[in-house]
Amino acid sequence: MKDNNCIFCKIAAGEIPSKTVYEDEMFRVILDLGAASEGHALILPKEHYANLMELDEKTAAAVLPLAGKISKAMMKGLNCDGLNLVQNNGEEAGQTVMHFHLHMIPRYKGGAEVIEWKPGNPKAEEMEATAEKIKAAL
């Protein structure tokens, strides 16, 4: 299904031009207009899924092999030193376009910091309670 109001649906369908690096029947991979580093790309499914929770299993199963393929091409073609995969779900998590996408961000020695968080120090009993909450919801 497509969403007529979704910019990534239109880009994935080729209705809005993009710098495409890969395309097949399920996905289009484009360069991010606000690239965090040289080669920052987005894997877009051609069908509309708002986020990871809505993604269908077939698409989900195909995303990581494709990310692996693009990663190898980035390492070879861009000569990057590593890369981060980032996938935001929900506004609070930084998602600004509500069409599932996987960021692929090449990293270069001495390059800008891209992903940072301050490590916390949860107590063992807090971790136990947290784990129980997730397990109970599975």
Q: List residues near Zn ion by CB under 5 A.
A: 3, 6, 8-9, 48, 99
Minimum separation from the CB atom of position 126 to ligand AMP (A)? 29
Per partner kind, with CB cut-offs from 5 to 8 A, the member of ligand AMP, Zn ion, none near residue 97 is ligand AMP
Strands (E), the chain: 20-23, 27-31, 41-45, 82-86, 102-107
Q: Is 3 in the site for ligand AMP (CB under 6 A)?
A: no
Nearer to Zn ion, 29 or 74 (CB): 29
Measuring CA to CA, how many Å separate 113 from each of 81, 101, 107, 133, 136?
Answer: 13, 21, 9, 33, 36
Distance CA 44, CA 41 (A): 10
**Contact code string over 24-63 relative to ligand AMP, x by CB under 6 A:** ------x-xxx-------x---------------------
Length of the chain measured in residues? 138
Nearer to ligand AMP, 12 or 80 (CB): 12
Distance CA 66, CA 101 (A): 13
Distance CA 29, CA 83 (A): 16
> Rule CB under 6 A: which residues touch ligand AMP?
7, 11, 18, 30, 32-34, 42, 88, 94-97
